[in-house]
Chain A
Amino acid sequence: MKIRVLVSLKPGVLDPQGRAVHHALEGLGFEGVDDVRIGRTVELDVADNTSDAALTEMCEKLLANTVIENYKIEKLD
């Protein structure tokens, strides 16, 4: 089973990387970009019987730092 975990910074947490990319987009002449936030995608290939609880635990224990990040689990199959 293919899983995609999207890790993103929580709203309100400053994203210096996103801000720098935002400036770069403006420098390239793209107008109307209001905000840029950068996150991370983790693709997992797991056994079909992997439980939702196990996937959540993977995110909570390692894939995301829930002090600063949110995560979303997507099943791709």
Chain B
Amino acid sequence: MAFRSAVITFPGSNCDRDMAVALEQVSGTAPVRVWHGDAELPDNLDFIALPGGFSYGDYLRSGAMAANSPIMREIVRAADRGVPVLGVCNGFQVLSEARLLPGALMRNASQHFICRTVGLKVENAQSIFTSGYEAGQEIRIPVAHHDGNYFADEETLDRLEGDGRVAFRYTENCNGSRRDIAGVLNKAGNVLGMMPHPERAVDAAHGGTDGLALFEGAMKALAKA
């Protein structure tokens, strides 16, 4: 059965094509491209991806404007129905601004834009998105962001850790994130936000292929479900 995925493009998204290429490479089926102003998502989606970029020029706060765009109402509904939603980089910022994920992404503690490949530790290998990895596995994935400093209050952080909702942690904290958190899941486990870019590590020519297992694992997990 074809894997039906969608990639959302906001004004200022710039990793939407990379995300679409990665999804097509892994699934053999090109994702549907959805514009932020669209009022509806295609039917029967297996997977929704919110890509990186600088939606709305990061006006007000990164992701804040995109979180209120028309398509987000549909994405919140789809997420509530259990459709897997992956937000990478700006996509993570949008999901947190839309309150689909807890916490917020603040300016990097160093104040610098960071663009390099970082080490991640897979904390939870049982989610839809991480089942292609082993728990505790270390992988290398590129980051490229100015606002990736994950913040949540201590109580929320304790709850996330207790519920196994920290998907990835930086092996070396590059941006000041609380408890080295690089990726978090929602309570139901079908929404993942992460600052690193798995879609930029799916081809040997990228310098690494550690992102492949995320997409492949998700496809396998969904085929079984």
A residues contacting B by CB (< 8 A) are: 13-14, 16-17, 20, 61-63, 65, 67-68
Contact = CB atoms under 8 A, between A and B. Distances in A.
B108 A16 contact: yes
A19 to B, nearest CB: 8
Contacts of A16: 106-111, 149, 176
Given A62-B64, A62-B68, A67 B107 contact: no
Interface residues of B, number: 20
B151 interface: yes
- In the complex, the 4 A-B pairs of residues with the closest C-beta atoms, listed nearest first: A67-B104, A68-B104, A16-B111, A16-B109
Contacts of B123: none
Per DSSP, are chain A's interface residues mostly helix, strand or loop, or mixed?
A: helix
Contacts of A63: 60
A8 to B, nearest CB: 13
Nearest to B67: A62
A62 B109 CA distance: 24
A14 B109 contact: yes
B64 A13 contact: no
Nearest to B110: A16
B152 A14 contact: no
Nearest to A68: B104
Per DSSP, are chain B's interface residues mostly helix, strand or loop, or mixed?
A: loop
Given A16-B107, A16-B111, 4 more contacts: A16-B106, A61-B68, A62-B64, A67-B153
Nearest to B68: A62
B106 A68 contact: yes
Contacts of A68: 104, 106, 151
Given A13-B151, A16-B110, A20-B111, A65 B176 contact: no
Nearest to A61: B68
A14 B104 contact: no
Interface in B91-109: 96-97, 102-104, 106-109
Nearest to B151: A68
B61 interface: yes
Nearest to B97: A65
A68 B153 CA distance: 9
A16 B96 CA distance: 20
Q: Which of B97, B104, B149 has the most A CB atoms < 10 Å from its CB?
A: B104
Contact of A67 (B60, B108, B152, B176): B152
Contacts of A14: 106, 109, 149, 151, 176
B103 A67 contact: yes
B111 A13 contact: no
